Amino acid sequence: MANIPAWKGEHATISNTVTSPVVTAQQTRSLDQALKQLDIAVKRTGRIRYQLLNDVLRDIVRLDFPGQNHLLLLLRSCGNLMAETLPAERTKFAQAIWKQFGDLGVSYDDSHYNSLLKVYLQNEHTFSPTEFLAQMEKDGVAPNRVTYQRLLARYCNEGNMDGTSTVLEFMKAQDMPLTEHVFSALIIGHTRAGDMASAINVLSVMKDVGIEPSAETHMVMLCAFAEKGDFESIRQVCCCLISFVYPLIHLRDGCCVKRTVPPSLSGELCELSSRTDLFWPRMSCAFVLLNKVIALMKIFQRMGLPIRQHYFWPMLVLQRKVNDKAGVLYILKTMQELEVPPDMETFVKFVQPAFNSLQEATVEFQVCVCFGFVLTIFFFFKICFMY
């Protein structure tokens, strides 16, 4: 790992940075602010832009102020969180980060190696588990349970059941518990090895050892059937899942909508559901019909539940259908109040189509500016109408 070459990709800006011998308080605050922006980006959108991540790395290198936690944060951001960057580029960036921190004298531990493994798996990067373990041994880092789980997942993704068996035997010899993640990986492994009977049998083995298959395991099973084009088995699994969930959730949703349950009572029911590991996935769509979704969102916020961008999309679609442009902008203002500022995807897919031109959007914006709209919204309109 320490001998990984620096990234020579199109965005590379980290190799030619001059470090500063003195770290000022202002520079430290700048780094803290950049790290805070990373945290906010993950919480609000569930994704991180490459440029933001590269800015943080550049600050760390320039200040010659690396830490183990900084390395951990940057590595964990190089997987699915960097959704707008190609997987191969994300992997190269992670490798460049790894080398840069090694050059700055940061010592690696098992959490760093496990994070790098996770990046490799999420980006579907090809690597040798044997060489990976050899590099850990060279750096004096002992692999743990998570390490072996992820190496096993690598073998399973290749359909290499011999390698998988070797890792499993070692885990059993070390009394490492076999978790649901291990069994899910085995389903993938047997499927890609062409042994669907063994893949299906994994569910029975899980129950025998006292692990009840969750939604994650069933999702992996569905993907396995999809890879083989077995649509009849997919239908059977879906029918089985519906029989578990549909009577509990959808019947309750329907009752609330038909009986026009007030948002305050719906909030209490949602809170009860959260304590029993159930939730209402259709609530936002249902309450659009009652024009009470905003009140429900505020209840969600008071309960500490996350508010996502896509919760507002059904409302935006409805306002667009009835040609209520002021209503569209009011929803944007509400998103700001709930600390879920609309992102570019929301503007491009659900806001911009409601307006015929930039001039029309500008007029409506000026009407609503008294509500405390931030000017960023206006600039979003400009960008949308440029394309």
Question: 111 in a domain, yes or no?
Answer: no
Over residues 71-79, mean pLDDT: 90
Each residue's pLDDT tens digit, 154-211: 999 999 999 999 999 999 999 998 899 999 999 999 999 999 999 999 999 998 999 8
Neighbours of 27 (CB within 10 A): 15
Question: 63 in a domain, yes or no?
Answer: yes
Alpha-helical (H) ranges within the chain are: 25-45, 50-63, 68-76, 87-103, 110-122, 129-138, 145-158, 161-173, 180-192, 196-208, 215-228, 231-258, 263-275, 283-288, 293-302, 313-321, 325-337, 344-346, 358-368, 375-384
Question: 273 in a domain, yes or no?
Answer: no
Q: 384: domain range?
A: 309-387
| pTM attached to this predicted model | 0.59
Over residues 288-315, mean pLDDT: 74
Count of structural domains within the chain? 2
Smallest Cα–Cα separation from 299: which of 288, 309, 317, 284? 284
Residue 300 reports pLDDT greater than 80: no
Quickly state the pLDDT bin for 291 (edges 50, 70, 90). low
Each residue's pLDDT tens digit, 247-264: 434 434 444 444 444 555
Among residues 106, 132, 162, the one where a domain terminates is 106
Residue 270 reports pLDDT greater than 80: no
Question: 377 in a domain, yes or no?
Answer: yes
Among residues 66, 85, 106, the one where a domain terminates is 106
Over residues 323-350, mean pLDDT: 82
Quickly state the pLDDT bin for 292 (edges 50, 70, 90). low
Over residues 355-359, mean pLDDT: 70
Question: 133 in a domain, yes or no?
Answer: no
Q: What does the mean pLDDT of the chain come to?
A: 76
Three-state helix/strand/coil letters over 265-284: HHHHHHHHHHHCCCCCCCHH
178: left (phi over 0), alpha (psi -120 to 50) or beta: beta
Neighbours of 226 (CB within 10 A): 13
Quickly state the pLDDT bin for 338 (edges 50, 70, 90). confident
Among residues 87, 106, 125, the one where a domain terminates is 106
Neighbours of 267 (CB within 10 A): 19
Question: 50 in a domain, yes or no?
Answer: yes
DSSP 21: S
Question: 168 in a domain, yes or no?
Answer: no
Question: 368 in a domain, yes or no?
Answer: yes
